[in-house]
Every structure is written in structure tokens, then in C-alpha cells.
Homo-oligomer: A and B are copies of this chain.
């Protein structure tokens, strides 16, 4: 038992280290050796824990697909309140830099051209937009959000957030924006 737990912990350590490095330097510029060194093990041992660099990325993306985007919001909370709370949470993480934040940036990174196909597909299947579309439609019915194509609005919402998160990742002195600014893109 201890053996298996040990292995699982080690895997987790590798994953977290890789996540940080992938976000800091980008996937392509993070060498297996870099990760191994950062974790404190030999290059070869990496392949005892993960079959390949891509498999390592894939594992991370799998974790990412279960993140904030996949949650289905409670119907009783007003859409604007829900989204504001969500943004507050996310920006709070951005300051403290835990893995949730890095994961957010990685998921954005992975969707872009030039990333391993399988990881790309997987991250694309983690559809954060659909729940937001529903939320926006509800907001429109309730008269809090302006009219317009809900899907485009949802995409714009996420795209903006992604841009902002990435900026926060690169530019550590940037102040966290007021969630209300972003919500006003949707508000009437």
C-alpha cells in the first residue's frame, strides 16, 4: 500500500511541477530534463511515471476538464451574481497563484494551434461555453442582460477572461480587475 501511495504522490508532484513550468515557459520550451531536475529525479525516471511528455500534458488536461467551467450553476442564483462571484474567486486564485490558476492558463494554451492534437481535442471537448450560454439566456429573460446572440456573448465572456488571465500570468504586478467591469459587457 505504501508503495502505491508513494507512487501516486510522486506522480502528483511531477504533475504540479510540470504545470508550473508549462505555464511559465510554454510546453515546447519545457524539456523533460527541466521537469526532472525541478522535481529532483533523473530524466529516465520520468518515463517510469509517465509514458511520454504528451501523456503528462494529457493527464493535466484531464484534470483541467473537471475545473470551474464544467460546473452547472444553481438556477436560484441570479446570473449576474453568479458570474460576479465566479470572477471574484478566479481572481483571488490569480493572486495566490495556486494550481487552479495555472490550470486555467494551461487550458487556454492547449487549445491553440501547435499543441499536441489529442490534448487539443480533449480541452476543446471541455465545453465551458454551453453552461454560460444558458446563464446568459436566463439573464436576458430576467432583463438584466442586454439582447444579442447569447452564444457569441458567452464566447466573448470566456475569451476576455482568458486574455485577462494570461496577462495576469505574465505580468505579475498587474492589479486584479474589478469583476463588475467584465460583467458590464453583458449587462443592460
Contact = CB atoms under 8 A, between A and B. Distances in A.
Interface in A106-143: 111-115
Contacts of A114: 25-30
A42 interface: no
26 contacts: A24-B113, A25-B113, A25-B114, A26-B112, A26-B113, A26-B115, A27-B114, A28-B28, A29-B113, A29-B114, A30-B114, A112-B166, A148-B178, A153-B177, A156-B177, A156-B181, A159-B160, A159-B163, A159-B164, A161-B163, A163-B164, A181-B185, A182-B185, A184-B185, A184-B187, A185-B185
Copies in the complex: 2
A9 B79 CA distance: 54
A164 B171 contact: no
A170 B159 CA distance: 11
